[in-house]
Copies of this chain bind each other. A is one copy, B any other.
Amino acid sequence: MTEVRAERADAARNRRAILRATEELLTTCGAEHVSLDRVAAAAGVGKGTVFRRFGSRTGLFQALLAERAAQLLHDIDQPGGPLGTGLPPYERLMAFLDALADLSHRHLSLIAAHERACGEDKFGDPTYQGWHAHVRDLMRQIRPGLDADFLAHMLLAAFYGELVRQLTADGDWPRYRRSVRGMAELMLAPRDP
Contact between chains at B158 and A154 (CB < 8 Å): yes
Question: In the complex, what distance in Å separates the CA atom of A102 from the CA atom of B119?
Answer: 23
Question: In the complex, what distance in Å separates the CA atom of A191 from the CA atom of B178?
Answer: 18
- Total identical chains: 2
**Which of B122, B147, B162 contacts A182, CB < 8 Å?**
B147
* A160 interfacial by beta-carbon distance below 8 Å: yes
Complex interface bits, A138-150 against B, C-beta within 8 A gives 1, otherwise 0: 0000000001001
Determine the main DSSP class of A at the interface with B.
helix
Contact between chains at A162 and B123 (CB < 8 Å): yes
* A163 interfacial by beta-carbon distance below 8 Å: yes
User: In the complex, what residues of B have CB within 8 A of residue A163's CB?
Assistant: 123, 153, 157
Q: Identify the interface centre among A120, A151, A166: most chain B CB within 10 Å of its CB.
A: A120
Minimum Cβ distance to chain B for residue A89 (Å): 17
Contact between chains at B116 and A119 (CB < 8 Å): yes
Given known A154-B154, A179-B147, A186-B186, contact A112–B123 (CB-CB < 8 A)? no
